[in-house]
């Protein structure tokens, strides 16, 4: 019984580390369109980076932690390691509640992020981590990795497209204009 509780405490601590890692990356990735809490209801945010950050960072973090644990022959700590992502989102919710941000948070989006991140991490756990799949590509499958790089490049380009504020102002003005 104790090893199970100890293992979940370990996973919860990793979840807290993941929470702070995501926040650190987001804080220093402003050029990629990371959304901050703003009180300007008319601001448009680039949500692409937020989505990728909150979904892929847990997967990459879990794979890297698993690789380190495998390297040190601590394979038993990798059991159910995908749960650290669930613990991270639980900690994120508690953090926001404690800091009185419950009304600022889009809880539907947070639940969506959590669900997709947990599912993606579980798939990585099942198909990459447990079989101990090598992380580095071999030369025969390098074309697949090049397509991923091309996709990321296109993502970055499209995420940087911003429309002129005058078009938004025109939309907003036409929406709030009262009939005479």
Other beta carbons within 10 angstroms of residue 73's beta carbon come to 7
Q: What is the rounded CA–CA span in Å between residue 166 and residue 145?
A: 40
For residue 1, pLDDT beyond 90: no
Alpha-carbon span 6 to 14, nearest angstrom: 12
Q: Crossing angle of helices 2-27/83-98, nearest 10°?
A: 60
Domain ranges of the chain: 2-137
CA 62/CA 15 separation, integer angstroms: 10
Q: What is this structure's pTM? A: 0.69
- Express each pLDDT in 81-137 by its tens digit: 999 999 999 999 999 999 998 888 888 988 999 999 999 999 999 999 999 877 666
Residue 62 contacts residue 82 (beta carbons within 8 Å): yes
CB environment 120-144: b (16+ within 10 A), e (fewer): bbbebbeebbeeeeeeeeeeeeeee
CB 87 within 8 A of CB 12: yes
If residue 85 lies in a helix (H) or strand (E), which one and from where to where? helix 83-98
Q: What is the pLDDT of residues 27-84, one digit of tens each?
A: 766 555 454 444 333 444 556 667 777 888 899 899 999 999 998 999 999 999 999 9
Number of CB atoms found within 10 A of residue 70's CB: 14
């Amino acid at each position: 019984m104790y090893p199970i509780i100890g293992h979940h405490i370990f996973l919860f601590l990793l979840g807290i580390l993941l929470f702070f890692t995501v926040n650190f990356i987001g804080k220093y990735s402003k050029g990629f369109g990371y959304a901050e809490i703003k009180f300007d209801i008319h601001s448009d945010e680039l949500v692409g980076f937020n989505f990728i950050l909150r979904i892929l960072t847990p997967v990459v973090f879990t794979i890297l932690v698993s690789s380190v644990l495998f390297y040190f022959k601590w394979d038993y700590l990798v059991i159910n390691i995908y749960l650290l992502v669930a613990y991270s989102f639980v900690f994120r919710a508690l953090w926001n509640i404690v800091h009185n941000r419950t009304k600022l948070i889009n809880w539907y989006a947070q639940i969506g992020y959590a669900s997709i991140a947990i599912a993606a991490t579980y798939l990585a756990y099942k198909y990459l981590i447990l079989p101990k799949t090598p992380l580095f590509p071999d030369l025969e499958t390098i074309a697949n990795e090049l397509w991923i790089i091309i996709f990321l490049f296109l993502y970055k380009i499209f995420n940087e497209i911003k429309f002129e504020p005058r078009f938004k102002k025109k939309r907003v003005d036409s929406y709030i204009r009262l009939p005479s």
